[in-house]
Every structure is written in C-alpha cells, then in structure tokens.
C-alpha cells in the first residue's frame, strides 16, 4: 500500500500548492478518488472510441488486412475502398444524392413549418392547448413500426413508394412533431414583452415574429435543423420499406453490401465512415444546445 | 387523475401573464401560424392512425391494387392467442429493461465521473457523445464486423480471454451483443442529460454538504440525486420512447435470430408485414405498440405539467 501513501502525500502537496486562492471544499477530493475517476473515464473513452476508430482504420485497409485473423494495427494504408465505391458498377453517388435530398428537404420543411407552428403553440391561449401539445408529442413518440405499416398501404395507393417525396413525407412523420415541440420550447424562453414592445412600436404580429423573435432563436433553429437532419439521415426502418432503385439512401447501400456470398468489409467500413462522420461533425457543432434539443426542451443548459 | 389535471391547469392559468394584445376573432394570429404545420401533421398522423385501425380488422390484399377485406376481430384473436407473440413481448420487456437499465446506470456513472473532471471535460464529453450520431444500422453492421468469429476485433479479444464461440451465433450471446450495441450507442445521451442536471445543482448546496463532513456517497444519495431526480426521469422517458422505436441494430445484425432469441416485437412486426405480407395482423401489433408509446408520452407531458419543468 505504499503507492497509496505516496499518492496521498502527493495529493496534499497539490491541494496545498495554490495558496491564497479561496478553495471550495469540493476540491478536497483525495488523490485516490481522482485516479479512480480518471481510470473509469479512460475505460469509457476506450469503450466508446475503439469501434469508431477501428471502422475508420479498416476503411483504409486492403482486402487481406481487413479480414486478417489477428488485428492489424500497422498496415499499408490504401484508398482503394473509397475509390471502388465511386467507380464500380454500383456507384455510391445516387445513394448520397438520395440521402442528401430526402434528409435535407425533410429537415428544411420540418424547421420551417415547425418554427411557425411552434411559435403559435408557445404563445397561444386557446383552450385545448394541452391536448394539442399531447397529440404532437405522442406523434413524435409513435413507434416507427406502427407508422410504417399504414404509410406503406397509403403510399402504395397514391404511388409514393420508391420516390424522394415519399421518403420526405415519411421522415416528416417524426421530424415535424419534433420540430414543432422543440421550437415551441425555444420560443417559450423568449419573454413575450419583447413582442409587445415591438407591437407598441408599430410592428404587425408577423413583423414582430420575423424581425424580433426569430433572430433571437437562431441557435434553436440551427439545433432543430441539425437534429432533424441527423434523424432522417440515419433512418433505416422507413427507407428499407419505402425506397427502391430511385430513392435508396446510404444506410440501404451499406446493408446491401451484406450478401449471401460474403461481405466486402473494406467497402462497408468505408460507407460507414461516409455515413457517420458528417452527422458527428454536425452534431458536435450544436453541442451547447444538444441537451435542450434531445430532451425536447424539458432540460436546458449544460 | 382528472382532478390533478384540472388543478395544475388552474395554476397555469392564474400564473400566466395576461395577454396584452387584443383578442382576435376565431383563428387569431397564433392559429394562422400553427395551421400549415398542424394540417400536415394531421394528414401524416391521423390518416395513418385510422388506416392502422381499419387494417387491424381486415385482411389486406396488395395484388391488383390495395384492398381491405373486413374480417372482424380475427387479427386480434390471433394477437392474443399467439404464443410466439407473447414470447416476443417477454423478450421485448427483457431487452427494454436491460438496455434502458444499463444505459441509465452507466450514463449516470459517466456523468458523475465527468462532473469531477475540471480540465478537458468538454473535449471528453464531445468524444463520448460521438456514438449518438451514428446511424443505428451502421452500428449494427459495425458490430457484426467486430464480432465476426474469424476476423472480428472483439471476437479476437474474447478468444484471447478463452471464449471461442460465435458471438452472434448462439442465442444468449447474440442477445447480449445486441443489447450492448444499443448501450454503446445511447449511454452518451443519458450521460449528457445527467451532466446538465448535475451542473444545475447549486455549488453552495454541495459545498455545505462537504463542509458538514458528509461522505461522498451520502451527498450523492441525499443531496445530488433528489436534486436531479426530475432530470433523470426525463432522461429515462426519452430513452424509453426511443428504445421501442429503434430496432435497426437487431434488423441488420441477427434479423431476430438465432432461434428467435432477439426477435423483439418491432422486428416481428416487420417480418409479419414485409416478409409474410400479413399486413392486417401487423397493424394489430402496431396498435399495441402505439398504446405503449402513448402511455410514455402521457407520463412525459404530465411530468412537464406537474413539476413545471418548462413553460
């Protein structure tokens, strides 16, 4: 136990060092606790990051390295997997285009309509307000499987199977209620007195909304857009039922690489990287508002 | 139940600032703002819901145009007497409790650890959040790659620890694997929400406990957890509703197998609807799932109302 003793004396030395500054009693944690915390965090980081890093590494491996029985950390990196994705018989470009269109259009529509309706919901005094709010949130929470089945019949009836508009509508079933609810939470934080002074200054209600309130909720708009984009981009359950050759998205492209005859894991990890990385960057860009966004406005701040 | 609702709405009305703008007739400005979004939402939710109800009492024909033949309660009788279906619900409950339970425990643990770190907390949090943004289907495929018995990284680790089986090949380990994949992806969400809750506990409260000489676990049990219980409840509800929504991971890894070991209700619904094209029966299953999610939504909204978390 000599190491623990050393650790403790060191801990005292460290806590004693910054003299003069008033210290919070919370800082007086023992060195051992700090080591345990650090160790747990390292384990959590490894558990989180190893699969992602392994996917990234494998996407640069050649055919033999990617399926080598012993893991290869040192290997000659190659861009072949990515090159083959864009040159082979089954080109990835259409899939990327479908993904961008379906996810992008549904996110734009959701944020646009969601901002209008969310503002109305936040400010309205109508009687059935809480029933309305409940209907919106339960639409967001409806299981995808329960939505897919009737939509499949309806889409078949009106010819929306295997089309980008069909996918956009399918994604709106969860993105629109999400955007309405979340934007309403963001608008509720803006004090109504701001609009009132704008009205006194001679603005119409629309001008007050457009020129005073909307600029104040810019971060809310961006967060809502990013989250809608992520949800739609990552969708698999709707796309696997509704899409065909004219509308297949990236997650479908990835799952199509799994065939009876075997899987090209090099290409698959490359597609995985292409699907995952943009959404991670977008998500981290709005990290400050993620809590608000992902709890649908129930919890705010960091 | 109705009493509680009336009571809280009465408070709501009395504390809400009076609108200064003159009352407009009928629809009003707010109504005009809401109508485009709500009309589209109605088309996207009420119409499918009615279709779902109708389908659950019908035999759905797809060939030669969509047609519903009313068959009464046949689908529902089947739903309540199907032994496989009951097994699926049981499996779903186990899957649900395991994933959500593990995610809550690990997420809160990670948040408590992160909260003690002062330097580099932001960068660590950012790194820990990454799995959340990954498409679940890609997570599933990646899981397949990592656990492949001949070249998977994790299979190799398990092999050096003495486990030589095919992870996704036997029922128990396959179930554990899909649970862990879900835990990998969604634990960060719980950690993120909990950390937000922890940061909102006033520092003075924690300091007071520390000065009084309360041991760490006591501070946690009697000061921290009560203070963040609302936030934890929100995290639990958010996660619960998504746990039943997503099944992509299972769909791309085991497809419900081996020997039905991972066939939870949404997977069975997909199989019923889009492999056997028994859409009427699938609609009955869908309605049952919907009832569950509406229950969660109800709890969520009530929590917001009663505890006044927002608005």
pLDDT at B5: 41
The structure's pTM equals 0.86
Q: pLDDT for B243-284, tens place per residue?
A: 878 888 999 988 887 888 899 999 999 988 888 888 889 999
Average pLDDT over residues A266-285: 93
Contact between A168 and A102 under an 8 Å Cβ cutoff? The reply is yes
Residue A68 has pLDDT above 50, yes or no: yes
∠ CA(A50), CA(A54), CA(A57), 5° rounding?
A: 140
Q: What is the pLDDT of residues A172-222, one digit of tens each?
A: 999 999 999 999 989 988 898 888 888 898 888 888 888 889 999 999 999
- Which one of A45, A141, A290 makes the best mutation probe of the B interface by having the most chain B beta carbons within 10 Å? A141
Cα distance between residue A52 and residue B130, in whole Å: 9
| CA nearest to A184 within chain B | B311
> Tens of pLDDT along A18-65?
444 445 555 556 778 888 888 999 999 999 999 999 999 999 988 888
**Both tokens assigned to B256:** 């419900």
Q: Which residue has the tokens 């981290």?
A: A284
Q: How far is B29 from chain A (nearest CA, A)?
A: 7
Q: How far is CA B101 from the centre of its chain?
A: 12
Residue B103 makes CB contacts below 8 A (sequence gap 6+) with: B182, B183, B186, B187, B189, B190, B239
Which of B47, B117, B137 to mutate to test binding with chain A, by most A CBs within 10 Å of its CB? B137
Given a cut of 70, the residues of chain B with pLDDT beneath it are 1-26, 307-311
In 3D space, the residue among B192, B212, B117, B108 whose CA is nearest the CA of residue A29 turns out to be B117
Beta bridge partner(s), residue A259: A262
Contact across the interface for B138 and A276, Cβ inside 8 Å: yes
Cα A58 from Cα A265, distance rounded (Å): 8
- B88: which 2 tokens? 């699926």
Average pLDDT rounded to a whole number, residues A2-15: 43
> Which residues of chain B lie closer than 8 angstroms to A302, CB-CB?
195-196, 199
The answer, yes or no, to whether ipTM is higher than 0.90 is no
**Which tokens sit at A266?**
């090099």
Q: Select the residue of A28, A153, A241 nearest B60 (Cβ to Cβ).
A: A153
Show the DSSP H helices in chain B as ranges. 2-15, 28-56, 74-81, 83-116, 121-129, 136-146, 153-160, 171-200, 203-211, 216-218, 225-245, 248-253, 265-274, 279-307
Return d(Cα A220, Cα A223) in angstroms, integer.
5
**pLDDT recorded at residue B307:** 60
Q: What is the CATH number of domain B88-264?
A: 1.10.3720.10
For residue A29, the model assigns a pLDDT of 63
**What does the domain layout of chain B look like in residue ranges?**
47-81+278-311, 88-264
User: pLDDT-derived band of residue A99, with 50, 70 and 90 as boundaries?
Assistant: very high
Torsion sign, CA atoms B170, B171, B172, B176: positive
Judging contacts by C-beta atoms under 8 Å, the chain A residues touching residue B238 are: 294-296, 298
Q: How confident is the model at residue A3 (pLDDT cuts 50, 70, 90)?
A: very low
- Sign (positive or negative) of CA dihedral A183, A188, A189, A192: positive
A130-183 pLDDT, tens digit per residue, is 888 889 988 888 888 889 989 998 998 888 889 999 999 999 999 999 999 999
């Amino acid at each position: 136990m000599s190491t623990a003793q050393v650790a403790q004396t060191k801990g005292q030395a460290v806590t004693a060092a910054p003299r003069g500054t008033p210290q919070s009693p919370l800082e007086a944690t023992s060195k051992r606790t700090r080591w345990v915390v650090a160790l747990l965090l390292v384990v959590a980081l490894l558990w989180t990051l190893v699969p992602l890093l392994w996917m990234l590494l494998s996407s640069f491996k050649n055919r033999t390295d990617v399926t080598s029985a012993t893991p290869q950390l040192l290997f000659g990196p190659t861009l072949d997997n990515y090159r083959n994705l864009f040159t082979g018989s089954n080109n990835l470009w259409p899939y990327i285009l479908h993904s961008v269109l379906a996810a992008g259009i549904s996110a734009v529509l959701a944020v646009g309509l969601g901002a209008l309706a969310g503002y109305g919901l936040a400010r309205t005094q109508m009687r059935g307000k809480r029933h309305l709010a409940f209907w919106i949130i339960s639409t967001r929470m409806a299981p995808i499987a329960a939505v897919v089945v009737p939509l499949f019949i309806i889409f078949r009836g009106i010819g929306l199977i295997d089309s980008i508009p069909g996918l956009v509508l399918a994604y709106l079933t969860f993105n629109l209620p999400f955007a309405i609810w979340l934007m309403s939470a963001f608008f509720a934080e803006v004090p109504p007195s701001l609009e009132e002074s704008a009205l006194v200054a001679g603005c119409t209600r629309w001008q007050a909304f457009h020129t005073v309130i909307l600029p104040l909720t810019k971060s809310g708009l961006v967060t809502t857009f990013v989250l809608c984009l992520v949800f739609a981009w990552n969708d698999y359950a709707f796309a696997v039922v509704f899409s065909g050759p004219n509308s297949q998205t990236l997650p479908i492209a990835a799952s199509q690489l799994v065939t009876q005859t075997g899987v090209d894991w090099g290409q698959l990890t490359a597609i995985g990287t292409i699907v995952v990385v943009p959404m991670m960057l977008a998500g981290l860009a709005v990290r400050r508002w993620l809590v608000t966004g992902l709890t649908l406005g129930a919890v705010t701040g960091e | 139940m109705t009493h509680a609702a009336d009571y809280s709405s009465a408070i709501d009305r009395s504390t809400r600032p009076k609108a200064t703008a003159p009352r407009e007739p009928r629809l009003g400005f707010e109504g005009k703002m809401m109508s485009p979004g709500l009309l589209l939402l109605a088309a996207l939710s009420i119409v499918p819901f009615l279709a779902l109800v109708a389908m659950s009492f019908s035999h759905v024909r797809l060939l030669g145009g969509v047609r519903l033949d009313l068959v009464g309660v046949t689908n529902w009788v089947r739903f309540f007497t199907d032994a496989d279906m009951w097994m699926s619900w049981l499996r779903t409950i186990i899957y649900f409790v395991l994933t959500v339970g593990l995610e809550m425990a690990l997420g809160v643990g990670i948040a408590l650890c992160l909260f003690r770190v002062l330097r580099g907390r932001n960068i660590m949090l950012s790194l820990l959040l990454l799995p959340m943004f990954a498409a679940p289907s890609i997570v599933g495929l990646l899981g397949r790659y990592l656990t492949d018995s001949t070249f998977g990284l994790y299979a190799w680790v398990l092999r050096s620890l003495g486990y030589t089986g095919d992870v996704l090949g036997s029922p128990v380990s396959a179930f554990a694997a899909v649970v862990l994949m879900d835990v990998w992806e969604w634990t960060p969400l719980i950690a993120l929400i909990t950390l937000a809750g922890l940061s909102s506990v006033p520092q003075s409260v924690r300091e007071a406990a520390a000065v009084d000489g309360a041991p760490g676990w006591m501070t946690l049990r009697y000061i921290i957890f009560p203070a963040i219980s609302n936030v934890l409840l929100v995290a639990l509800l958010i996660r619960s509703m998504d746990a039943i929504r997503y099944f992509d991971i299972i769909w791309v890894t085991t497809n419900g197998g081996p020997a039905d070991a991972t066939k939870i209700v949404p997977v069975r619904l997909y199989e019923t609807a889009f492999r056997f094209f028994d859409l009427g029966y699938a609609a009955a299953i869908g309605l049952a799932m919907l009832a569950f999610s509406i229950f969660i939504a109800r709890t969520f909204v009530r929590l917001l109302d009663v505890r006044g978390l927002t608005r």
